[in-house]
Amino acid sequence: TCPSAPAWQGGASLAQRHQLANGDAGTDGGWGAFAGAEWLGSPTHSAGLEGNFARYEDFRSGLDVAQLAPRFGLVLASGAEWSLRADTRGYWIHLSDDVGFGRHNFFSAEERLSLLWERWTLGLFGWTGRQVFAARGDGATIYNLPEKHTAGFGVDVKRALSDRAALTLRVSREEFREAGGTATASAQTCLAALGLTF
């Protein structure tokens, strides 16, 4: 028998349209695009790269946001029905214009530990650095306000209901500062999501 070769797995979406109903005239109607690829080196480790681009035509004279997010995953331990996995992700965000923080480039790093057991996944995550107009969750969540996020942490629980459906509950906290402001604020988020694969 021949050893299995490393496999490339990727996906792209070039027409993600984000209609924003938050009353912010500068970013309402902006759009974003996402592309990603993942290298499955073995059952114990993987690596990947995500790219995001967002355009806000009504933000001042127009704002372009480009983001690259490399990631690396490693299984730390495993048993007959469980495994413990660590995933490290970096973020580089480039803005075409200074939105009030004195720079165009922002960097941050995120770490996630996941315990997988049968149909359950328990995750602990945290990140630190600087993010402005970031895209997270494989491009599903775009932060569209001129805020500098500096840290965050949280926990989530995922239950696979079938091969094509999963329910996720997440609680998280973030720290951020608005452009032109001096005080740091925090936001707590509770999220319930049902994911379906077609």
Which of these ranges, 18-22, 75-79, 160-164, 190-194, has the smallest mean pLDDT? 18-22
53 alpha-carbon distance from chain centroid: 13
Which of these ranges, 26-30, 34-38, 57-61, has the smallest mean pLDDT? 26-30
User: Residue 74: how many CB atoms within 10 A of its CB?
Assistant: 14
Q: Which two tokens stand for residue 14?
A: 């070039």
What average pLDDT score do residues 15-26 get? 54
pLDDT given for residue 194 in this prediction: 93
Provide, rounded to the nearest whole percent, the portion of the chain with pLDDT above 70. 84
pLDDT at 46 over 80: yes
What average pLDDT score do residues 158-172 get? 95
Dist. CA 115–CA 36, nearest whole Å: 24
Taking phi over 0 as left and psi of -120 to 50 as alpha, with beta for the rest, 118 belongs to left
pLDDT given for residue 23 in this prediction: 60
Mean pLDDT of the chain, nearest integer: 85
AA letter at 117: W
pLDDT given for residue 2 in this prediction: 42
pLDDT at 12 over 70: no
Which has more pLDDT, 11 or 30? 30
Q: What is the pLDDT of residues 56-115, one digit of tens each?
A: 888 888 899 999 999 999 999 999 999 999 999 999 999 999 998 999 999 999 999 999
Report which of 93, 30, 17 is spatially closest to residue 60, judged by C-alpha positions: 30
User: Residue 168: how many CB atoms within 10 A of its CB?
Assistant: 15
Q: Which two tokens stand for residue 110?
A: 């995120």
Task: Give the HSE-up count for residue 130: Cα atoms under 13 Å, Cβ half-sphere.
Answer: 15
DSSP state of 34: E
